[in-house]
A = this chain, B = another copy of it.
Amino acid sequence: MSQRWGQVLPPREEQYELKRRAALEAAANAFNAHGFYKTSLGDIAAELGVTKAALYYYFKSKDEILFECHTLAIEAMTSLPAISEDLSGLQKVEAFVLGYVDMIVQSFGRCLVLTGTHPLEPENAEKCRAGRRRVHDLLVDMINTGVKDGSIRSQDARLTANFIFGALNWVAQWHRPDGRDDIVRISHDVKDFVINAIAADVSTKEGA
């Protein structure tokens, strides 16, 4: 079959991944729109034009679907565009914030924040929490770096990271992709907000 169609159709294996990915995307969007528990496997299947049972060819449970969504989001977060080592702590935070907001407004990022870990089975929930802790530590390290190099005022880095994640994650709650606030504007403003909140002194601040 794939030979008859020449190179038009991707090889079977790749098709599998493609479909799997499409299913995850559809699932994440449905979860974001109506909540995990108000989204049945039938809903997701219908969205894809297949049967409930077909999903079990790609996933072994509803839990796994959510887990994969979370995993993809966490992977995206931990592999944000490499941040140059030359930058000051504050500049690193700035770069991180910009990259993070971009993630958080997409399907999987929103899913991570909006759905939370409650629905996950204990084992998977723990894996996700570990992943999020890694992301958290990333930011904490940057803050500590900044405090040491004098670009960030002295403060409890762990708490501060939580505040920042709060401001960023919350975007997923109120931002509507089709709304009036385009994401570029938001990124810029939230970056200013965070930088002002933590910068050591006025001279390093922007947007004031």
Contact = CB atoms under 8 A, between A and B. Distances in A.
Interface of A: 34-38, 114, 116, 118-119, 153, 155-156, 159-160, 162-171, 173-174, 181, 185-186, 189-190, 192-194, 196-202, 207-208
- Of A181, A196, A201, the most chain B CB neighbours within 10 A belong to A196
Contacts of A155: 189, 192-193, 207
Contacts of A34: 118
Contacts of A164: 167
Decide if the interface of chain A is mainly helix, strand, loop or mixed. helix
A166 B171 contact: yes
A160 B181 CA distance: 12
A138 to B, nearest CB: 16
Contacts of A36: 37
A186 B159 CA distance: 8
A163 B159 contact: no
- Which 4 A-B pairs give the minimum distances between C-beta atoms? A166-B170, A35-B118, A197-B197, A166-B167
A54 to B, nearest CB: 16
Nearest to A202: B202
Contact of A166 (B116, B156, B169, B181): B169
A175 B136 CA distance: 14
A104 to B, nearest CB: 11
B170 A119 contact: no
Contacts of A181: 159
Given A156-B189, A162-B170, A166-B171, 6 more contacts: A155-B189, A155-B193, A159-B189, A163-B167, A193-B197, A202-B202
Nearest to A164: B167
Contacts of A198: 193, 196
B193 A116 contact: no
A100 to B, nearest CB: 12
Contacts of A156: 189
Given A159-B189, A202-B202, A208 B165 contact: no
